[in-house]
Amino acid sequence: MVAATQQKTDTYQFTDRNFNTLREIVSEQTGISLSDHKRDLVYGRLTRRLRALGLSGFDAYCDLLQNNPGEEMEHFTNAITTNLTSFFRERHHFDYLSQELIPDLLQQNRLQNLRVWSAGCSTGEEPYSIAITLRESIPNIDNYDVRILATDLDTNVVKQASSGIYAASRVEGLPKEQLRRWFLKGKGDNAGSVRVNKELCDMITFRQLNLMNAWPMQGKFDIIFCRNVVIYFDKPTQAVLFDRFANQIQDNSHLFIGHSENLNKVTDRFSLIGKTIYRKIR
């Protein structure tokens, strides 16, 4: 009887109209385009919000978002946003950064004010991987002004990323030398966790940012990572976003995107130099 009651409580009617309303709101707020096959994902994630708010169903939730969202819009976008990442994901990008790009920038004397943007940083593994790569490949890095901006739409993951604390299982695949150098093992109540070294944390500024809204950054970047983000956007939205990236990056600077993404027929302002690595050409 208890199980049957729980099942009834957790089941809500989810109509085509509800789904279409919600994906219109998602598109307006974030630029993310939800396909039909995301319907079950949307239902699964948002039923938690209905229970938390004590709402009777999706009609009431859609009405709330449309007419009196308040703080719920933030919870809504956090729930819909997918955050899948790992340290040194797509390793070839970090190999290129350390073996090709950094030596080239050193030779050109372009490290005095190096600025890197991790756009869509999720829980922080990407910007910390960038920071490790920079520290390991730039001699006397503290003699330079090197900064990383890490942003994400989801306020929850930004908070988690800025803490620099991870389950030890998240770093199991890293070389032992890197683990010793860049991570502190938790003890006592913190056993089973690791904390990122302060040297890395000091290089990174974490901020919440919706890529579809105005960008507050004044200066231009030398390197932008925006990986596995635009796959959720339609082509017109991608075109606008990459044009804005081109405006926000130095000439001949580099853009790194995800393995399933490409700029073909999206923008002509970047040139592919291999393995989803692009250089700004205009």
Q: Which residues are catalytic?
A: 45, 152
What's the CA gap between 64 and 53, in Å, rounded? 10
**Which residues are paired to 277 by β-bridges?**
256, 274
Given a contact cutoff of 8 angstroms between Cβ atoms, the answer to whether 251 and 230 are in contact is no
Given a contact cutoff of 8 angstroms between Cβ atoms, the answer to whether 270 and 242 are in contact is yes
Tell me the HSE value of 68 on the side-chain side, using a 13 A CA sphere.
2
Please report the DSSP string for 27-61 in residue order.
HHHH-B---GGGHHHHHHHHHHHHHHHT-SSHHHH
What's the CA gap between 125 and 89, in Å, rounded? 8
Quick one: CA torsion of 24, 26, 32, 35, rounded to 10 degrees? -60
What's the CA gap between 200 and 115, in Å, rounded? 15
- Coil, strand, or helix at residue 107? helix
Please report the DSSP string for 200-255 in residue order.
HHTTEEEEE--TTS-----SPEEEEEE-SSGGGB-HHHHHHHHHHHHHTEEEEEEE
Given a contact cutoff of 8 angstroms between Cβ atoms, the answer to whether 144 and 111 are in contact is yes
